[in-house]
């Protein structure tokens, strides 16, 4: 009750489809677990979503390898990179895992032109060989206490939101404010398959809560991702085939939460996926 | 007021504990290019990892066709079904067929395949990674799996694959050679049509690796779903383990959609 009373709600960011919602085909999904109550959901959201400064949202502090080799931790900023490259470039072409700690990037890899070293070679971007301090910072790996990461050209103002990094990346790409590359020079083809026609329209499905539905546009996702980034490892290819797809698992970083709690807009931007649900902004600072 | 807050927090913590316990094993298992197709055999390995064999498909498929090992040498297509014994190798079966000091290094140098212990295994894996990337740099690239376009590599003559071993492979009269492209209709309309190329498969696999099981002889009569393939059946037996991964949709869904 105390926490709930502290929350403030903003307007929604959902853009209404051309057809009224009640005329749209909604996939009926079955859920094993009962829905969360409003207060449980509020508590969970506040526990799980990012509450820090927007400039640091999506920053990864990598210290597994550096600790082993007694070097300083690495700060990787998704915000800096996603202006210039789609997710697909690093997470498919360069084999960066979607889960933190699974890639095992070594200095040897970088110097041999893999992972960071594929671009950070002194030609495409600053070199991993000499510009060590550009990424290795003398910081406590548990705190975002360093000047926010910036790259040249990051000054173009982008459309705002009220959660996560406070940037509406989808709007930014749709309005042509950013033009992220879909492939590295000399890289492979842009996508594994053009989006089939019937998937160009957004999908809608039911949640465990009556009257609340999910709006999912494939078309916005394939601007950044390839089919294979999500299928079949995160989501099965069968319609409504992904079981145990409930709010809690999403909030804890499964399914959509793989990206939408860490890099893409976090789940307090409720209205982005749930039409006519207000955003949950959380505690007033 | 205090008790309500405490209750909410306790409920939240309980829920979070329950959930975090249940999502441990759900992270996407995408294999790295240097690990793709590697088979780690340790059924008979000792507790400290001694005896473990890392079989690398990539070193073998850059020299031999699939058929040679999986038909002529009787290696099963499913890991753990071949039951390779020391005495088999000594008698010139399985690995021992080639690893005799003539075709390839001899099995007498045990530790070339068997790790001494876990430290040695880690070292072997590290060296394998290095060797793989050095090889990968010389090959045309693809997007998934080993990130090597093996078909193009053969087409360009970068790899030359042996299909027969003298004294082992029987001479075969190629009475039937099916090189047809078989069109297949995807179950969902709007998806690009599938073209199955016999010619690309026959060159490396012959007929027997796919027919009559799991594929019936008449095109389109075997009921296949994408989910079954992803689960490792039908095409997924190779495409997802050794051959290009099914993640690369348009390699099979290659017929342009006519709208």
Enter the tokens of residue B72: 């002529």
Token pair 């005329």: residue = A23
Enter the tokens of residue A281: 């902004």
Is the peptide bond prior to A88 cis by the omega test (within 30 degrees of 0)? no
Question: Considering only alpha carbons, which residue of chain A is nearest residue B141?
Answer: A188
CB contact under 8 A, B192 and A196: yes
pLDDT-above-90 percentage for chain A: 58
pLDDT in tens, chain B (259 residues): 455 555 555 554 444 444 433 333 333 356 899 999 999 998 888 888 889 999 999 999 999 999 999 999 999 998 888 989 999 999 999 999 999 999 999 999 899 999 999 999 999 999 999 999 999 999 998 888 999 999 999 999 999 999 999 989 988 776 667 888 998 888 887 788 999 999 989 989 988 899 998 999 888 889 999 989 998 999 999 999 999 988 888 899 988 776 5
Chain A residues whose CB is inside 8 A of the B226 CB are 237-238
CB contact under 8 A, B4 and A2: yes
Nearest CA of chain A to the CA of B19: how many Å?
7
- Alpha helices by DSSP H, B142-247: 150-155, 198-205, 226-230
Chain B residues whose CB is inside 8 A of the A97 CB are 28, 30
**Residue A192: its pLDDT value, please?**
73
Mutate to test the interface with B, among A101, A112, A228 (most CBs of B within 10 A): A228
Mean pLDDT throughout A41-57? Answer: 92
- Could you tell me the pLDDT band of residue A193, with boundaries at 50, 70 and 90? confident
- Nearest-by-Cβ selection for B143 from A3, A114, A188: A188
CB contact under 8 A, B15 and A248: yes
Enter the tokens of residue B135: 């090889």
Chain B residues whose CB is inside 8 A of the A200 CB are none
- Nearest-by-Cβ selection for A228 from B141, B144, B191: B144
CB contact under 8 A, A92 and B33: no
CA B159 to chain centre: 18
Question: Considering only alpha carbons, which residue of chain B is nearest residue A105?
Answer: B32
Q: How many CA atoms lie within 13 A of A84 on its CB side?
A: 15
**Residue B5: its pLDDT value, please?**
55
- Nearest-by-Cβ selection for B250 from A44, A192, A248: A192
DSSP per-residue codes, A121-174:
TTTSS--TTT-GGGTB--S-TTS--SPPP--TTTTS---B-SSTTSB-HHHHHH
- Nearest-by-Cβ selection for A252 from B23, B143, B230: B23
Q: List residues of A whose CB lies inside 8 A of any B CB.
A: 1-3, 36, 39-40, 43-44, 47-48, 92-93, 95, 97-99, 102, 112, 114, 188-189, 192-194, 196-199, 227-228, 231-234, 236-238, 241, 248-249, 252-254, 258
Chain A residues whose CB is inside 8 A of the B230 CB are 232, 236-237
Name the CATH superfamily for B38-155. Answer: Cytochrome C3 (3.90.10.10)
CB contact under 8 A, B8 and A192: no
- Nearest-by-Cβ selection for B27 from A93, A95, A99: A99
**Residue B106: its pLDDT value, please?**
95
CB contact under 8 A, B247 and A192: yes
Label residue B234 left, alpha or beta by phi (over 0 means left) and psi (-120 to 50 means alpha): left
Structure ipTM: 0.82
**Residue A185: its pLDDT value, please?**
79
Mutate to test the interface with A, among B2, B8, B10, B256 (most CBs of A within 10 A): B8
pLDDT, mean over chain A: 87
Residues A257/A259/A261/A266 CA torsion (nearest 10 deg): -110
User: What is the pTM (predicted TM-score) of this model?
Assistant: 0.85
Mutate to test the interface with B, among A194, A222, A255, A261 (most CBs of B within 10 A): A194
Going from N- to C-terminal start, the domains of chain A cover: 2-52+188-283
Q: How many CA atoms lie within 13 A of B242 on its CB side?
A: 19
N- to C-terminal Cα separation, chain B: 63
**Residue A4: its pLDDT value, please?**
37
């Amino acid at each position: 009750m105390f926490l709930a009373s502290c929350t403030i709600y903003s307007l929604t960011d959902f853009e209404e489809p051309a057809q009224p919602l009640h005329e749209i085909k909604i996939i009926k999904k079955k859920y094993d677990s009962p829905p969360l109550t409003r207060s449980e959901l509020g508590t969970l959201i506040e526990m799980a979503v990012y509450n820090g400064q927007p400039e640091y949202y999506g920053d990864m502090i990598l210290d597994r390898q550096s600790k082993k080799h007694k070097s300083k931790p690495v700060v990787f900023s998704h915000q800096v990179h996603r202006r210039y490259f789609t997710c697909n470039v690093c997470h498919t072409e360069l084999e960066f895992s979607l889960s933190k700690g699974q890639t095992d990037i070594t200095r040897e890899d970088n110097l041999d032109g893999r992972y960071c070293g594929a671009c950070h070679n002194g030609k495409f971007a600053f070199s991993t060989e000499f510009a060590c301090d550009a990424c290795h910072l003398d910081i406590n790996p548990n705190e975002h206490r360093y000047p926010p990461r910036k790259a040249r050209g990051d000054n173009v103002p982008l459309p705002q939101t009220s959660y996560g990094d406070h940037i509406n990346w989808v709007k930014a790409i749709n309005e042509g404010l950013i033009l992220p590359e879909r492939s590295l020079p000399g890289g492979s083809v842009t996508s594994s398959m053009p989006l089939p026609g019937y998937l160009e329209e957004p999908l809608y499905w039911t949640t465990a809560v009556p009257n609340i539905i999910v709006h999912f546009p494939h078309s916005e996702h394939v601007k950044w991702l390839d089919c294979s980034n999500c299928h079949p490892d995160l989501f099965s290819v069968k319609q409504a085939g992904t079981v145990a797809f409930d709010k809690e698992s999403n909030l804890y970083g499964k399914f959509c939460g793989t990206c939408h709690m860490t890099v893409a807009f976090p789940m307090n931007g409720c209205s982005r996926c749930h039409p006519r649900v207000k955003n949950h902004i959380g505690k007033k600072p | 007021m205090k008790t309500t807050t405490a209750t909410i927090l306790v409920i939240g913590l309980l829920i979070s504990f329950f959930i975090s316990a249940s999502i441990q094993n759900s992270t996407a298992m995408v294999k790295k290019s240097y690990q793709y197709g590697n088979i780690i055999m340790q059924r008979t390995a000792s507790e400290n990892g001694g005896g473990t064999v890392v079989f690398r498909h990539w070193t073998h498929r850059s020299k031999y066709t699939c058929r040679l090992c999986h038909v002529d040498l009787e290696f099963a297509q499913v890991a753990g079904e071949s039951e390779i014994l020391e005495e088999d190798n000594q008698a010139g079966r399985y690995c021992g067929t080639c690893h005799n000091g003539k075709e390839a290094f001899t099995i007498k140098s045990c530790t070339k395949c068997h790790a001494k212990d876990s430290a040695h295994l880690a070292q072997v894996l590290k060296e394998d990674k290095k060797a793989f990337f050095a090889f990968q740099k010389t090959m045309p690239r693809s997007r998934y799996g080993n990130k090597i376009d093996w078909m193009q590599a053969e087409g360009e003559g970068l790899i030359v694959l042996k299909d027969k071993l003298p004294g082992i492979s029987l001479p075969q009269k190629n009475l039937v050679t099916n090189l047809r492209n078989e069109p297949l209709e995807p179950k969902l309309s709007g998806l690009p049509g599938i073209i199955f190329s016999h010619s690309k498969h026959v060159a490396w696999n012959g007929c027997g690796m796919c027919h009559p099981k799991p594929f019936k002889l008449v095109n389109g009569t075997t009921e296949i779903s994408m989910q079954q393939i992803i689960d490792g059946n039908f095409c997924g037996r190779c495409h997802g383990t050794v051959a290009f991964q099914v993640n690369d949709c348009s390699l099979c869904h290659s017929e342009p959609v006519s709208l």
